[in-house]
Structure 1
Amino acid sequence: MILALTLAVVLGTMAGALLSARRHAKARTLADWAVGGRRFGVLVFWFLNAGEIYTTFAVLGISGFAWAHGAPAYLALTSVSLSATIGYWLMPNIWNAGRKFGLVTQADFFAKHYNAIWLGVVVGIAGIIALIVYVQIQIVALSLIVRLTLGTDVSAVAAAIIAAVVMLAFVYFAGLRSAAFAAGVKDVLMVVIVVSLCLTVASKVGAASMLDVYRMAQDQYPDIGRLPGLQPEAGLSTVWLMTAALNVALGNWILPHLFQLCFSAGTEATIRRNAIWQPLYSLSYFFIILLGLAALLAGTEPAGGDTNAVLLQFVSDRYPSWVIGIFAGTACLLALVPGSVLLLTAGSIFSRNILLPIVPRLSDRASLLASRLSMIVFAAIAVWLTLGGSRSLVEIGLSAYAAIGMLAPGVYFAFLWKRAHAWGVLTGIVIGYCALLLPQAQTLWNTLLPHWDHGLIAMAVNASVTAMVCIAWPRQPALRTQAA
């Protein structure tokens, strides 16, 4: 029953997504396939944009983080609202640039604004690396669901490969529009099932109500409701929460796939309306954290202590098969939709910003084919990363935000400072990655700024170096991409 219901949810949504895509003009060019023809309205854009918030990182990752740490899971509540605040200003500027200059990818933006094709290549490579790390999150989660439905006899390698194949099949043919349809189905299903689980979760752990679950958790684990939570040695203090939330908010719209989502909107008003209402999604974290605490009270012990599998294990232990099947199918969509968009974006960047400068006469059809084939390679790399590590989804997500944050100063300076130029941005990126990745730098930050999020520190170093280079070495002002 679990397998049948899981397949029914996933295959039904995939069929609907493909039919939805076929009703519209067939994707004949990379732009049609990657940004949906730049015609998405308020409702489609809402679900597609929200689909990048309501992922396995949000549901499986945050619930497991609450189970393991407690209060540090409140990071999710703060970062979504802060991101929407910044997005209200930044997204329309990105959209205007894309509409005015026919941009498809984030690397297009850097190449056009700073009048440097080579910078677009550098940014494209950095963006693809960050996207592959983010795809890893979805494959980790999807492989856990595969093993839940098919049984633990399926090896971790086989589960990860199956997850990658399903994800590729989902996006390979229809592009962004198929993901938009599936995002709507996924969001509705997940809201319904999470709320339904929360309405019944009190009886599963001996509590009188949902709020009583919080009280019981506080009584049994006195440190669970305040920072640094259940594991003080992890360093998840108030300073960590503030700096990590700020880093996520500043880096969120710099993720390459969110650039492409901005380009897909039909109007500027569509973007602003979504930014106004998007913080409502943060309210769902009340229920997600509640489920994590309930799993803790229930004594849930996932195999190997894997925090990513806590919610799946809790539902599997405490609910009937038909509930497990629907939940597993919906959780599959949580990984499939954002994972597909991530792979689509990485493929678009490869063909348009890395391959095209090398082969300038590449046709649209060949570019589209190269984009699709490159996705297979990127998915394979993500599978390899999945098999080589065991970090929580939240930790992997913060690593992706830290990596992509090295491109943030170049984006913000593009709209705020006319003197910024390509060489300054490149220097900042190189020094920023050194500040983020070198072991000596990490030791220095732990000494000087204990508990600070290293991604935010590296971003600040990046911005400072970029500004100093642009001041000390003035060059021709960059092309203004912001619409009048």
Structure 2
Amino acid sequence: MKKYQSPYLGVLVAVIGVIACTCYLVLQLKGLGYIVSATSYGAISSTAAIWVGAIGVTIFVMVSGIHGSARTAILKDILILGIVVFLGVYFPLHYYGGLQPMYEAIEQAKPNYTILPDQGMSVSWYISTVVLSAIGFYMWPHGFSPIYAASSEKALRKNAILMPMYQLILLFAFFVGFAAILQMPGLKGGDADLILLQLSKQDFDPWFVGLIGGTGVLAALVPSSMLLMSISTMLAKNVYSVFTPTATENQIAKLVKYMVPLISLVGIYLTFQGGNTLFSLALIAYNFITQLAPAFFASLMRNNFVTKHGAFAGIIAGGVLVSIMELGNMKIGQLFPYLPQAIKDLNVGIIALFVNIAVLVVVSLMTKNITNNQDTDDLETSTVEHKVLMQKESNS
């Protein structure tokens, strides 16, 4: 982070970013495997689909770079918008006669099913997860890449206007999920990830199922390409260049390209190892990436009181807490059973974010004088060097 004038803070940010992006890459590859296997009616295995997809996106990234991903994303967005909206309207109408009859049928068959439970995935869990997702959405490294590659400020403004509207298609995805509650009961764990595809296979001809599958493949491959580029760039520019300051821009650019297949292999390996659902992987990724938010938003303030030491300590505290809780599959209620249920149900990531902010503030206040002294020393050194240089020029 240049605003904190600390290359090692940049290394830490890159490490957190790589962990989160890798989780998200695994999510995309898993989804790709599910889609191809389901829409090919089992003719292509999930394993084969993951290998072929990963190899394809690796070659695509190495050949076309970010501009190729941007062009493909246009086609992907058009297809997703059309298909998700169509399915979100079609399934409730087809099975129930409309949205209201659908909810009435669910309520009659499973009373209170649509009401959040009192504990576990309760109201406090839901709200904290939504807040975490909203904050984390702006922290993804691959989300910054299109900003730097934008053609103009006008294009950025237009994108900022359209993005909230684009998120509305999630509503239609929810309609598909609700429609499946009574049509495909009993789906749990990883099987729940296949709801849309199973309903589609049940109702549509193979050619249309193939169209849905092709759209899903694009929806997985485009983010995967951006993630591969982001991870490679972070490791090369934020980690390698710090420990190898003599590296040239050309060497770093080559390293970025050469790292893409290695990262792809790591993603494939982790995809075959993990047993988490797509939803769980997304939550883990957001839990990590959101830990960058306090230091980032503080850096945008005109009078930023946060020091590089505070930013570093806050990110470490939040990241370590998320790691311990996720690796140990622990919940807040297990550690503090005496807390109110609403607090015990909070998303782990939001708890880690509170810890992050607390540590950031305390350490920043404790190290404010140290940072000010360092800034003064740097200014004095710079002034002396400038005077010496001016003296040499006048003598010559």
TM-score (norm 2): 0.84
> Which residue in 2 is equivalent to 1:452?
346
1:173 match: secondary structure: helix
Match of 1:306, SS?
Answer: helix
Distance 2:200 2:141 in 1: 34
* Deviation sequence 1:357-414 (CA, Å, 0-9, x none): 2333334333222112212222222222222223222221111011112211110111
Match of 2:367 in 1: 473
Structure 1 match to 2:388: none
CA contact (8 A) 1:257 1:342 kept: yes
Distance 1:334 1:320 in 2: 21
Per-residue CA distance 1:122-147 (angstroms, 9 max, x = gap): 21122111110111111011011222
Do the aligned partners of 1:145 and 1:328 also contact (CA within 8 Å) in 2?
Answer: yes
CA distance in 2, matches of 1:384, 1:421: 38
Amino acid at match of 2:307: H
Select which of 301, 304, 307 maps to 2:192. Answer: 307
Shift of 1:297: 2.5
Residue number in structure 2 paired with 1:377: 262
Where do residues 2-13 of structure 1 align in structure 2 (5 Å cutoff)?
Answer: none
Residue of structure 1 equivalent to 2:317: 431
What residue number does 1:126 align with? 16
| 1:221 pairs with 2:110 | yes
CA distance in 2, matches of 1:331, 1:423: 43
CA 1:441 to 1:301, structure 2 compared with 1: closer, same or farther past 3 Å?
closer
Distance in 2 (alpha carbons) for counterparts of 1:301 and 1:191: 29
Q: How has the CA–CA distance of structure 1 residues 223 and 168 changed in structure 2, closer, same or farther, with 3 Å as cutoff? A: farther
Maintained 8 Å contact 1:170/1:336: no
Query: How much has 1:432 moved relative to structure 2?
Result: 1.5
Percent same amino acid at aligned positions?
28
Q: 1:222 to 1:333 in 2, by over 3 A?
A: same
**Does the C-alpha gap of structure 1 residues 200 and 415 become closer, same or farther in structure 2, counting only changes over 3 Å?**
closer
- What is the TM-score with the length of structure 1 in the denominator? 0.69
Greater Rg, structure 1 or structure 2? 2
CA distances 1:423-473 after superposition (whole Å, capped 9, x unpaired): 211111222223223358843366532110110111111111111111112
Among candidates 202, 212, 220, match of residue 101 of structure 2:
212
Q: 2:40, 2:107 → 1: CA distance?
A: 36
Q: Does 1:249 align with 2:139?
A: no
CA distance in 2, matches of 1:304, 1:452: 21
- Please say if residues 190 and 277 of structure 2, whose CA atoms lie closer than 8 Å, have aligned partners that are also in contact: no
Measure the CA separation in 1 of the matches of 2:300 and 2:169.
Answer: 33
Per the alignment, in what secondary structure is the counterpart of residue 471 of structure 1?
A: helix
* Mapped contact 1:406–1:462 kept (Cα < 8 A): yes
Distance in 1 (CA, whole Å) between partners of 2:84 and 2:47 is 29
Amino acid at match of 2:353: M
Which runs of 5 or more residues in structure 1 are unaligned?
1-109, 480-484
Structure 2 unmatched runs, 5+: 376-396
**2:22/2:267 contact within 8 Å kept:** yes
Work out whether residues 331 and 348 of structure 2, in 8 Å CA contact, stay in contact via their aligned partners in 1.
Answer: no
Match of 1:419 among 295, 298, 305: 305
Matched, 1:409 2:294: yes
CA deviation after TM superposition for structure 1 residue 149, in Å:
4.3
Query: Which stretch shows the higher mean deviation, 302-311 or 318-327?
Result: 302-311
Name the counterpart of 2:29.
139
- How far apart are the structure 1 equivalents of 2:145 and 2:164? 21
What one-letter code is carried by the residue in structure 2 that aligns with 1:189? L
Residues 132 and 379, structure 1, Cα contact 8 Å, conserved in 2: no
1:151–1:208 distance in 2 versus 1, CA, 3 Å: closer
CA distance in 2, matches of 1:192, 1:284: 9
Task: Tell me the number of residue pairs that the alignment of Structure 1 and Structure 2 aligns.
Answer: 364
* Residue equivalent to 1:324: 209
Matching residue of 1:45: none
What SS is found at the alignment partner of 2:64?
coil
**CA contact under 8 A between 1:343 and 1:375: conserved in structure 2?**
yes
Residue in structure 1 matching 2:355, options 439, 457, 461 = 461
Q: Residue type of the partner of 1:328?
A: G
2:85 to 189, 195, 202: 195
| Partners of 1:137 and 1:397 within 8 A in 2 | yes
* 2:59 is the alignment partner of 1:164: no
Q: 1:333 to 1:258 in 2, by over 3 A?
A: same
Give the letter aligned to residue 182 of structure 1: T
2:250 alignment partner, one of 357, 361, 365: 365
> Distance between the aligned counterparts of 1:441 and 1:325, measured in 2?
40
Stretch moving more, 181-190 or 371-380: 371-380
- Describe the SS at the equivalent of 2:276: coil
- State how far apart, in whole Å, the 1-side matches of 2:68 and 2:313 are: 39
